[in-house]
Amino acid sequence: MPKIVSAKVIVTCPGRNFVTLKITCDDGTTGVGDATLNGRELAVASYLADHVVPCLIGRDAHRIEDIWQYLYKGAYWRRGPVTMTAIAAVDMALWDIKGKLAGLPVYQLLGGASREGVMVYGHANGTSIEDTVNVALEYQAQGYKAIRLQCGVPGMASTYGVSKDKYFYEPADADLPTENVWSTSKYLRVVPELFKAAREALGWDVHLLHDIHHRLTPIEAGRLGSDLEAYRPFWLEDATPAENQEAFRLIRQHTTAPLAVGEIFNSIWDAKDLIENQLIDYIRATVVHAGGITHLRRIAALADLYQVRTGCHGATDLSPVCMAAALHFDLSVPNFGIQEYMRHTPETDAVFPHAYTFADGMMHPGDAPGLGVDIDEDLAAQYEYKRAFLPVNRLEDGTLHSW
């Protein structure tokens, strides 16, 4: 058996913070797992180093399911983003090791490819509708078949999803949380105009997506969905906070626009009612925050029973290790829908050399054994951790609002 002899937690900041777990077996085989939780990175690093790593030493690295259950059930304090991100890092690293020992890419261990490639969507954003549409046209020219649209809201100094750089976006922007001002009424007026302009410029052969980021009430979300139906959105993401899963039933009563949610979910229980009642069309849970490949496959299997497809979160706060793991997952599951793809900076790509590729709107994890990604520890050590928080939002009267 491949026995685990060491596990180290690596924190690095090549433009933004990443936490990586590297497991080594007695035969020298190594595996890596992403453990990044945006804005709370050191909480997971401590959880791993202080509470998980000591429990891994001496275990059989092939026993992925048993180790997953041990870390989940054995902690007594189940679920939560910190715990599930830590478990995910271990899980990814063990799948990486298993693939290397088998001489196969991980997707082959998951049953093989269910498609030739993974459709991804890029992020088009701008301070105005015109700016956003121009960026979307650039993405379309690069071969993207799906594009997310976000634009500035007139009268608002800043807007979620709108960055100074049209390709690289990092929402965790300050040593202490930035406080932005938000107006729902102004936002609801501009989004239909954005989609109208985008359809006129891009045509109907490209999928258009939009992220609301939990900022609307169910009835407001239903109204926006109804206003956008004529433009056939691929999905409306995170229309309202999902702690109350029944809220999506109210949205469903008012729009046929497809709904996606789940990037902040960390277990199957967060999504169970939404899936079983077919209140969503896409589940956005991701490998790193939902317990790894092992647990995300369970979520996908449940979703498949109810014709709900996957649409994994893929922002730049997920390291290339998670992106690689997501692509292996995406390529293998039968109910794949789409994968978010935000490009990492050249500095991040250098720290995390990887085999995955992009071409003609699709990505592929590559055929290197394991996950096909690694971490350059010497290079990673050159980038020290920098505390960074996600912003918060207040309404114009000062009331704290959803992020």
How many Cα neighbours within 13 Å face the side chain of 90? 36
- Catalytic: which of 123, 207, 210, 213? 213
- Angle of helix 129-141 relative to helix 184-202, nearest 10 degrees? 40
One-character DSSP codes across 41-104: HHHHHHHIIIIIHHHHTT-BTT-HHHHHHHHHHTTSS--SHHHHHHHHHHHHHHHHHHHHHHTS
Q: Which residues contact 219 (CB under 8 A, 6 or more apart)?
A: 250, 254
Residues facing 34 on adjacent strands: 20
Cα separation, 98 vs 95, in Å, equals: 5
- Whether the CB-CB separation of 23 and 30 falls below 8 Å is answered with yes
Residue in 107, 121, 139, 160 annotated catalytic: 160
Known catalytic membership, residue 160: yes
Dihedral sign, Cα of residue 316, residue 320, residue 324, residue 329? negative
* Placement of tokens 């304090």 in the chain: 77
Task: Name the residue among 307, 306, 305, 260 with its Cα closest to residue 285.
Answer: 260
Q: Which residues are catalytic?
A: 160, 213
